[in-house]
Structure 1
Amino acid sequence: MSQDFIKPINVAEELSNSFLEYSMSVIISRALPDVRDGLKPSQRRVLYAMRQLGVTPGKAHVKCAKIVGETMGNYHPHGDSSIYSTLVNMGQPWSMREMLVDGQGNFGSVEGDAAASMRYTEARLHHLGMAMMEDLDKDTVDFQPNYDGSQEEPSVLPSAFPNFLVNGGTGIAVGMATNLAPHNLGEVIDGICAQIDNSEITLEELMQHIKGPDFPVSCEIRGIRGIEEYFRTGRGSMRLRGKVEIEENENGKSIIVIREVPYGVNRAVLQERIAELVNEKTLTGISGMRDLSDEETRIEIELKRDARPQVVVNQLFKLTTLETSFSVNMLAIHKNRPKQLSLKEAIDAYIEHRREVVLRRTRYLLGKAEERAELLEAYLLALGHLDDFIKIIRDSKNRDEARERLAAYEFSTATAEGLGILIRSQAAVKGDRYVFSERQVNAILELRLYQLTGLERDKVKGEYDAVLLDIKDLLDILAREERVLNIIKDELRLIKDKHATPRKCPILAEAGEIPMEDLIANDAMIVTLSHRGYIKRTPANEYRLQGRGGKGLKGMETRSTGKDEPDDFVEHMFSVQAHDYLLFFTNTGRMYVERVYELPEGSRTAMGRSIKNVLNLKPDEKIAALLRLERTVDEDGNDVTFREDAGFVFFATRTGKVKKTALNDFRNYRKDGIIAINLEEDNELIGVRLTSGSDEIILVTHEGLSLRFHEDDTRSMGRNSMGVMGIRPREEDYVVGLALVTEGATLLVASDNGLGKRTSFEEYRKQSRGGKGIITMKVTEKTGPVVGAVTVTEQDQLMLMTSTGQNIRIRVDGIRETGRNAQGVKLLTLKEGETLQDISIFIPDGEDAGAETEDGEAQEGAAADAPEAPAE
């Protein structure tokens, strides 16, 4: 070789330049997605190859090997395994928030199992995958030569939905990486529309629409600060938690049920880790584990009898991938270079892309409409001078002569306008004469004989008028930016209506981030707790008002034990607000505090979730009484619910003992609970009330006796005390009700058989604490024993719950006032074997329209009032 062809170079410089070219190639053409369509080149080429094969929704699936071969041979000259893995990933519901490929066969599993070989699996485009390429044949995007120049491929897809934000993705380039979180399709579309309406929208306003990420699996997202951070800067992190519930098996043992693992966590690896921790004696409360998962996750972890479920759950979160972190880095290709994008910048890039798509599509359609209008003009002119045109064609020697003579034929512009032709092109006019173009001449020569009929002439004129309207509309779109943006919004909302799904991942703020009260409306709620410890909160508007004597609506779905024990039933019911506190007092005398909005929400007929999912109860500990505590704030918005002058908590037990403790003593409550009262082994709480320090108390017993006394008779005691005697029940009698004497109110007493009455407090003379009491309700076989007593006014409403889970909401003013020893009137209609279980004051959220029964008709006086019993 001649020395002239050898040039000395600097090796370091050559390596630097070569590596830079390689790096840019990896960054631009392989690893990072384009912000406009959210796809890497490999994904884009697979989708385009499937479109070219005609593997569209509604058609039969084809072998994945055929798709891979088409992609590799025409567009992506790389290994078939990498192309197939790209195809499989777009068809996995646990990997993609909205799938682009509809797969058939073994596409792998969430446990990390690989997909079957491409010769066994089949695929076709999903509806959203097809939406990515909508209007691709209307010059909406640029095309580029493929790797060998034999064909062309799109440089970007039109992307009818914001795939970049909806599906996210990961990629590792040279010196940089991207990790995009998926989001909810409906939320993202709402956010894009809001940003179109207001280009200066703030991040806080945008987050009213786009709450945060929404992963393909239903895990919990913890931490709002991280979401705000990556929305603002493009980088941030949050914690993901699996969904865990606590249940009881038939033997009474607690079971931790893992219903969902965090996004990206392998279920099999998680179970292996839990088994290791148990073998290492790190997790000591677990006695067994089994995987009952099918399409849905269900991993059951059985606990030892002395284990505390909430403690074990917290250990699982801390020591395993049941809680993990997810870091977001919104790095993408923007204007042919990598850029880290904020949420607003990503949305702006998509809006600009769709704006360009709409404008290019409109220009394409306008060109097609102009071409069609030109041909229709020729048809109309030819049909208007049919005899002349037939003579010219008949007298011509050949086609070329006919073409020349037709091209030379001229009309006046007035003649054209007289035929209803709107002359749009100046090229068709010479002075005051209208001349044919070459395309028009060819169209006239190709007219068929049937098109010369009158009906066909009317049809041509109708089509011509319609095309002119289309041209006018398309020109208006090109002239007005507002029209373009409205089209973008309308097309996105159409996608949302067809394909949007509810959010899968709830977003929970961490302690100290944002006050939950600022995120949750203070709506009226009904809280129910069953005998076996299933709790839920339900919006109060699900319980409509009914008339006294009605049959009621179906309430909580209670669980059958399947044993000799009675079935589960609702034991406590409270009407509360979402921001209120609930104080839970257990049979062992401990107290737990929980906010209403933190309780599990369920429908009116839902069974609810075990209280062990909410409170860190000790083994064999059960809820004995509840107290609703309304949240109060000072002028600065600080929570002062447990302030020193907030009053007292007054306790009443089954054996008749009472105790009064300052509410301020409970301010330092803990998740593990605190001591509230000391109880004897054969005693239990039956009621707890909040008092002012100067209230009067009424205790009511099962056999219909009552005792009224002033709370000054009971001195304030510490939390770790047993209390003093309030009423001395007779043998086999016990206390069932605790009520406060209120001016202008009455005492409502209800019995086991559904009878109830109101009695003025004036009929209850004040007595000394510790007596046996006087009659409050005449207990007979017809009435049954007393089940509860509450203080009511005529403006109140009452919620009644039966042993079978039925409930009825009635007005108190529909229950007439009677004497102490009367039997009362029927409050509701009970079925055979059914009894009244609990009564509660209902606080309505707004004005009720009127009393209605289950079938919507008023039902007043459905049962006759029971006669009063004679006084003793």
Structure 2
Amino acid sequence: MKSTITSIAIEDKMKDAYLSYSLSVIVGRALPDVRDGLKPVHRRILYAARDMGLTPDKPYKKSARIVGEVLGKYHPHGDAAVYNAMVRMAQDFAQRYPLIDGHGNFGSIDGDNPAAMRYTEVRLAPFSMDLLADINKETVEFVPNFDNTLKEPVILPSRIPNLLVNGSSGIAVGMSTDIPPHNLREVIDGLIQLLENPEISIDKLMKTIKGPDFPTGGEIVGIKGIHSAYKTGQGRITIRARAKIESKSKTKDQIIITEIPYQLQKAKLIEEIADAVNKEKITNISDIRDESDRDGMRIVIELKPNANSKIILNQLYKYTSMQTTYRINMLALVGKQPKILNLKEILEEFLKFRKEVVIRRTRYELRHAEDRLHVLKGLKIAIDKLDLIIQIIRSSKSTSKAKEKLIKTLNITEIQADAILKMQLQRLVGMEQEKIEIEINELNEKIANLKLILNNKEALKNLIKKELLEIKDKYGDPRRTTIIEDASKAEIDTEDLIKEEDVVVTLSYRQYIKRTNDPDNIRAGKKDFITHILKGTTLDRLLFFTRSGNCYGLNVYEISEHHPLSTGDPLNNYIKIPLDDEIVNVIMLNKETKEKFITIATAKGMIKKTIASEYESSITQIKAINLDDDDYVIGVKVTDGKQNILLGTRNGMTIHFAEEEVSATGRNTKGCIGIKLDDNDQVISFNLTAEDHYVVALTKDSRGKRTHIFEYKIQKRNGKGLKTLSSNNYQLLNIISGKKDQYLVFVKENGDLKELQIKDITETQRTGNMYSQKELGHDQLIEIVAVPIVPEWVKTEK
């Protein structure tokens, strides 16, 4: 023969070869069929085991025999691949409903390898029998095996929605599938809902099929990923171990882990926990023990005395695989084509398959019933005309002649004639004749029912429903995996990982901030002084109120811890306050403060109070007060509703009124009038007063006086107030109310700082003269700040 050479581009040949290979892997190895939920290797293992008679009621046989049977007849690949697939089908921690009943070492949830196939034994699990049910009734197609010597099923006529209940995972060429297992009861209830109402929405189906149900139990946190997967075929869910906190003694707790996430090895998890402890990601764990036994899993984590068990549990979720993400990608073969399916589509494909299987089975049973009825009718004729039949048989020279005479004389078919000739004499007794009559009646009824199924859609639907309910009753069990709908519990906030402990936070005049748990000897840097000393815990939040009416939030745990004598860090390392704005006050927002009010005064004489909890926000910057364009904040205080307020103006007017006159309003409000101002005046100070306070009035040129608070009588809000100055020649820099031993810090124009106690300021009457304070010298002042009175819990070295 003359040879012909055809040129072809190598890239085209490579493309064709790769596509062929891809298709072979996708269809022949890696992806499950949507109908029976099996890959070819699993299907062949089950079919080979059935052929060998390894049903649940028969003795086990060596795994090596099954592997050899599968390799030699149906699956010419590596023996390890077949055995590994069979092992997984026998593992109750890998399969929600195991398909293989294994005897021997089939591995463990610790990650231990199974014993070699020559040591283990297997047989079919009862569950598999319903995947194989009716396979001999022409319910599915058979195709030649790899060497064309045998036939194997294209699909198993599964009565069980195996794709969903056992799930599947696999990597093909350019695609992969990850279908989680589900609870059989829920899936069958969903199938019945769809059967009754084909137009049912996925949302309604999800009320029945709530989410994956893993063989290892655990918890699914949040339903957003489940809904995404069920509606689109793709999603991510957060799964976590099931753990509880037990008290071992008054000061000592332990965390008990009883279930772990699906596909996680227990030994690996214990290693992760130990590694996190060694690297000090997790503290206060003294011991880890595995107390698991045949009754169940039990990992015990011993905590150190007085350790916060809830924080440690959150740290375990954060830093180990106790909480992990499971990717759902519901990809399966539909008519030999890979397709991503949503929940309803998977259920629809299974019901379509079940209808096809039931119809094929019904046709098979109808044909056999009609054939049997046909034979029985011939036997009945023979019994009724027994003498004639005996005469025909005795007079015939051969069996073929007798058959011809029977067909002609009795007007029967060849099949009936054969049955008559083969009929045993015992069938002639009266009881046997009666049995034939009964069987004929039963077959007539059966045939009528089978025809009803084929001709009536409602009857077909009821039969499918009945068989599904039988499967549910036979294998259904309670859900193992708990679904926690609150998705926020999946997010491990930083605060969940912070140990709550008492701290002191200080802010200096030069805007240096620091946190310490040792309040002794708190000191500012050179040419600086502490303006705020705040006590709280690491889980509290600082609120910085500014002139512009904004409030900036900072979590205490975010502030670096320092030695009490250190300078600290610049505040702008943590929050960015514009250069044209400045801090008026800092408040520690905690459980106690949230129940009080935050009261704000402005330069235009407005005052408002708002319950402090309204300032609780995770946002760094929020609005604290609604200001007019030409107004700004001059003071912010925490009040309890029962205090007295003193407002002072630049021109020396003061008003002293009860806080209860100010009604509480929302955060984003203006408030009410605190003091009425002259056109050229403005409020410069906001004080909370007490019976032992003095009111100090000071000017830029170091003139000042102090007066006891009793001279400032309580008035009504919204008035002009009382005079503090005897002359209109002065304008005040500040008016401060405080105790005699309280320090004031005077900031001079040249940057120098001078400290002076209130008791060192000249004392006069409210309308008395202003006196030059010699201790301050003659330099002009730019600011006067009242240093907070040091609380009893702080020993400050000046």
Query: What is the TM-score normalised by the length of structure 2?
Result: 0.61
Rounded to whole Å, the distance in 1 between the matches of 2:177 and 2:212 is 16
Which of residues 425, 440, 458 in structure 1 aligns to 2:434? 458
Matched residue, 1:499: 475
Matched residue, 1:352: 352
Q: Does 1:126 align with 2:121?
A: no
Rounded to whole Å, the distance in 2 between the matches of 1:114 and 1:376 is 59
AA at the equivalent of 1:201: I
Q: Does 1:12 align with 2:15?
A: no
Q: Is the 8 A contact 2:234 2:328 kept in 1?
A: yes
Matches within 5 A, 1:545-556: none
Matches within 5 A, 1:643-658: none
Q: Against the structure 1 CA distance between its residues 346 and 374, is the aligned structure 2 distance closer, same or farther, given a 3 Å change threshold?
A: same
Question: What SS class does the counterpart of residue 493 from structure 1 fall into?
Answer: helix
Matches within 5 A, 1:563-712: none
Matches within 5 A, 1:714-863: none
- How far the C-alpha of 1:458 sits from its partner, in A, is 1.8
Residue deviations 1:18-66, cap 9 Å, x none? 1111100000111000000000000000000000010001211111011
Larger radius of gyration between Structure 1 and Structure 2: 2
Residue deviations 1:110-166, cap 9 Å, x none? 111110000110111111111100011011111111111111011000111100000
Q: Is the 8 A contact 2:221 2:489 kept in 1?
A: no
Matched residue, 1:303: 303
Question: What SS class does the counterpart of residue 208 from structure 1 fall into?
Answer: helix
Q: Is the 8 A contact 2:55 2:123 kept in 1?
A: yes
Q: Against the structure 1 CA distance between its residues 347 and 216, is the aligned structure 2 distance closer, same or farther, given a 3 Å change threshold?
A: same
Matched residue, 2:340: 340
Q: Percent identity at matched positions?
A: 44
Rounded to whole Å, the distance in 1 between the matches of 2:429 and 2:617 is 92
Rounded to whole Å, the distance in 2 between the matches of 1:375 and 1:181 is 51
Rounded to whole Å, the distance in 1 between the matches of 2:210 and 2:380 is 58
Q: Is the 8 A contact 2:221 2:487 kept in 1?
A: no
Larger deviation, residues 192-201 vs 307-316: 307-316
Matches within 5 A, 1:418-433: none
Rounded to whole Å, the distance in 1 between the matches of 2:184 and 2:137 is 25
Question: What SS class does the counterpart of residue 93 from structure 1 fall into?
Answer: coil
Rounded to whole Å, the distance in 1 between the matches of 2:416 and 2:335 is 43
Question: What SS class does the counterpart of residue 294 from structure 1 fall into?
Answer: coil
Rounded to whole Å, the distance in 2 between the matches of 1:125 and 1:666 is 64
Aligned residues: 509
Rounded to whole Å, the distance in 2 between the matches of 1:446 and 1:95 is 55
Q: Against the structure 1 CA distance between its residues 669 and 322, is the aligned structure 2 distance closer, same or farther, given a 3 Å change threshold?
A: farther
AA at the equivalent of 1:104: H
Matched residue, 1:445: 421
Q: Is the 8 A contact 1:63 1:119 kept in 2?
A: yes
AA at the equivalent of 1:492: L
Question: What SS class does the counterpart of residue 153 from structure 1 fall into?
Answer: strand
Q: Is the 8 A contact 2:168 2:179 kept in 1?
A: yes
AA at the equivalent of 1:338: P
Matched residue, 1:159: 158
Rounded to whole Å, the distance in 2 between the matches of 1:255 and 1:443 is 79
Q: Does 1:221 align with 2:220?
A: yes
- How far the C-alpha of 1:454 sits from its partner, in A, is 2.5
Q: Is the 8 A contact 1:225 1:513 kept in 2?
A: no
Q: Against the structure 1 CA distance between its residues 393 and 669, is the aligned structure 2 distance closer, same or farther, given a 3 Å change threshold?
A: farther
Rounded to whole Å, the distance in 2 between the matches of 1:250 and 1:53 is 59
Matches within 5 A, 1:245-260: 245-250=244-249, 252-260=251-259
Residue deviations 1:783-808, cap 9 Å, x none? xxxxxxxxxxxxxxxxxxxxxxxxxx
Matched residue, 1:110: 109
AA at the equivalent of 1:74: K
Residue deviations 1:654-694, cap 9 Å, x none? xxxxxxxxx988899999xxxxxxxxxxxxxxxxxxxxxxx
Question: What SS class does the counterpart of residue 218 from structure 1 fall into?
Answer: coil
Matched residue, 2:450: 474
Matched residue, 1:855: none
Rounded to whole Å, the distance in 1 between the matches of 2:365 and 2:254 is 63
Matched residue, 2:363: 363
Matched residue, 2:85: 86
Q: Is the 8 A contact 1:224 1:513 kept in 2?
A: no
Rounded to whole Å, the distance in 2 between the matches of 1:667 and 1:438 is 96
AA at the equivalent of 1:354: R
AA at the equivalent of 1:444: I
Rounded to whole Å, the distance in 2 between the matches of 1:458 and 1:669 is 90
Question: What SS class does the counterpart of residue 132 from structure 1 fall into?
Answer: helix
Matched residue, 2:375: 375
Question: What SS class does the counterpart of residue 397 from structure 1 fall into?
Answer: coil
Question: What SS class does the counterpart of residue 409 from structure 1 fall into?
Answer: helix
Rounded to whole Å, the distance in 1 between the matches of 2:612 and 2:434 is 92
Matches within 5 A, 1:405-420: 405-410=405-410
Rounded to whole Å, the distance in 2 between the matches of 1:14 and 1:281 is 57
Matched residue, 1:261: 260
- How far the C-alpha of 1:348 sits from its partner, in A, is 0.3
Rounded to whole Å, the distance in 1 between the matches of 2:350 and 2:385 is 52
Larger deviation, residues 191-200 vs 443-452: 443-452
Matches within 5 A, 1:37-186: 37-186=36-185
Rounded to whole Å, the distance in 2 between the matches of 1:144 and 1:476 is 31
- How far the C-alpha of 1:10 sits from its partner, in A, is 1.8
Matched residue, 2:465: 489
- How far the C-alpha of 1:279 sits from its partner, in A, is 1.4
Question: What SS class does the counterpart of residue 141 from structure 1 fall into?
Answer: coil
Rounded to whole Å, the distance in 2 between the matches of 1:374 and 1:190 is 41
Q: Does 1:291 align with 2:267?
A: no
Rounded to whole Å, the distance in 2 between the matches of 1:286 and 1:117 is 39
- Over aligned residue pairs, what C-alpha RMSD do you find? 2.8
Matched residue, 1:276: 275
AA at the equivalent of 2:53: G
Larger deviation, residues 322-331 vs 259-268: 259-268
Q: Is the 8 A contact 2:252 2:306 kept in 1?
A: no
Q: Is the 8 A contact 2:164 2:187 kept in 1?
A: yes
Q: Is the 8 A contact 2:223 2:487 kept in 1?
A: no
- How far the C-alpha of 1:322 sits from its partner, in A, is 0.5
Residue deviations 1:47-95, cap 9 Å, x none? 0000001000121111101111111111111111100001000000000
Rounded to whole Å, the distance in 2 between the matches of 1:303 and 1:477 is 65
Rounded to whole Å, the distance in 2 between the matches of 1:454 and 1:59 is 39
Give structure 2 stretches of 5+ with no counterpart.
Answer: 491-536, 541-594, 597-609, 619-663, 665-798
AA at the equivalent of 1:383: I
Rounded to whole Å, the distance in 2 between the matches of 1:511 and 1:162 is 29
Matched residue, 2:186: 187
Matches within 5 A, 1:384-399: 384-399=384-399
Q: Against the structure 1 CA distance between its residues 507 and 668, is the aligned structure 2 distance closer, same or farther, given a 3 Å change threshold?
A: farther
AA at the equivalent of 1:144: V
AA at the equivalent of 1:32: L
Larger deviation, residues 458-467 vs 191-200: 458-467
Question: What SS class does the counterpart of residue 132 from structure 2 fall into?
Answer: coil
Q: Against the structure 1 CA distance between its residues 670 and 250, is the aligned structure 2 distance closer, same or farther, given a 3 Å change threshold?
A: farther
Residue deviations 1:311-337, cap 9 Å, x none? 111111111100000010000000121
Query: What is the TM-score normalised by the length of structure 1?
Result: 0.56
Rounded to whole Å, the distance in 2 between the matches of 1:239 and 1:512 is 11
Rounded to whole Å, the distance in 2 between the matches of 1:512 and 1:61 is 49
Rounded to whole Å, the distance in 1 between the matches of 2:415 and 2:316 is 77
